[in-house]
Amino acid sequence: MSNTRSKRLIVTLAVVVLLSIPCIYVVNVLRGLASFSDAYASDWTSTFVIDHLRTSSDWPSDWDDLRDEYDRLAPASHYAWTFEELQTRVWFDWDADPNVVRNADPPQEVFRLTSGRQVSFNGDPNELIRNYLRTGEAPNRVDPPIGPHGGPRHIDVPAAGNGE
């Protein structure tokens, strides 16, 4: 009787192990897919901040300051998220002193993902921003814009004085 019981226990454990392997794999794949979105949010936002610094020489004071970079660098055909969705994925220290950020070692945290993940394809955003402030070089500068169909988007603006 105990021999049969031992065999059942071994078979049950084997089945549990065999079924748990695909489940663990699926969970890891889903976690990996979620981190892709965060990595893009990290890269895009740090690119927008650095481009804003490059073009205006001013530390951004809020998300509105990055709107032009978003519109210019992320063409509509390649938006991973709306500008508003991007804001929910990233926390940024708008009140940071760029001189302190430039001289901080290790890099001051002025950027983090709201998910708590620390992922990026281009490197730590805090370090990228600090290095730009130190050197004026933007190694990940996006030119042409993000996506396969980069280039300026045409926006129709009525000419002044034509009654429109």
pLDDT of residue 101: 96
pLDDT of residue 81: 76
CA distance 151 to 73: 8
Encoded tokens for 146:
């993000």
Encoded tokens for 95:
């009140």
Q: Which of 96, 95, 91, 93 is nearest to 114 (CA)?
A: 91
End-to-end CA distance of the chain: 93
pLDDT of residue 7: 85
Encoded tokens for 96:
């940071």
Reported as a single tens digit per residue, the pLDDT across 62-103 is: 999 999 999 888 866 555 678 898 999 999 999 999 999 999
Q: What is the pLDDT along the chain (164 residues), one digit of tens a residue?
A: 578 888 888 888 888 777 777 767 665 555 655 667 888 889 989 999 999 999 999 999 999 999 999 988 886 655 567 889 899 999 999 999 999 999 999 999 999 999 999 989 889 999 999 999 999 887 766 655 454 444 333 333 334 444 44
